[in-house]
Amino acid sequence: MPFSHRLPAISSLVILGVALSACQSGRPVAVTANRAALPTMERVAIAANSCWFKSGDAAFKPYRLAPELNSFSGRPRILAVPRNSPESRPMLVVQAEGSPARLDAFGPMMSGPDGERIKRDVLRWAGGATGC
């Protein structure tokens, strides 16, 4: 078959290829984190443990992490409790409820000098970020 007879077939393939590539966005598919309460609080707990408690962060040095993720109330949470008195009233409570998770953070630490940083960290980790 001479080349001139194959030209319509080749141009049809090129047009098909261009049409198919136009259907694709060209952007990679973003993987989003599960936004339900429990997976959200699991992410927050892991990051908080690493960034706040195990890192030696001065704001959290007097406290220890008390995760309460298996909550029968449907509100998994983490607590910052006094290091030497874990049965005492929590100084910080971060909890989530529902899907997508609605976050809440409260306690004396939220009204202190680190309250805004705590809020930013929790929101970042809840969104899927892992860094400190």
CA 53, distance to chain mean position in Å, is 18
Could you tell me how many residues make up the chain?
A: 132
Cβ atoms < 10 Å from Cβ of 20? 9
- Residue 34 half-sphere exposure, CB side, CA atoms within 13 Å? 10
Listed residue (102, 54, 53, 50) closest to 76, CA to CA: 102
Amino acid, res. 106: F
- The pLDDT score that the predictor gives to residue 19 is 38
Q: What is the pLDDT of residues 91-121, one digit of tens each?
A: 999 999 999 999 999 999 999 999 999 999 9
CB-based contact 34:126 (threshold 8 Å): no
- The pLDDT score that the predictor gives to residue 4 is 43
- The pLDDT score that the predictor gives to residue 59 is 96
Q: What is the pLDDT of residues 45-74, one digit of tens each?
A: 999 999 999 999 999 999 999 999 997 788
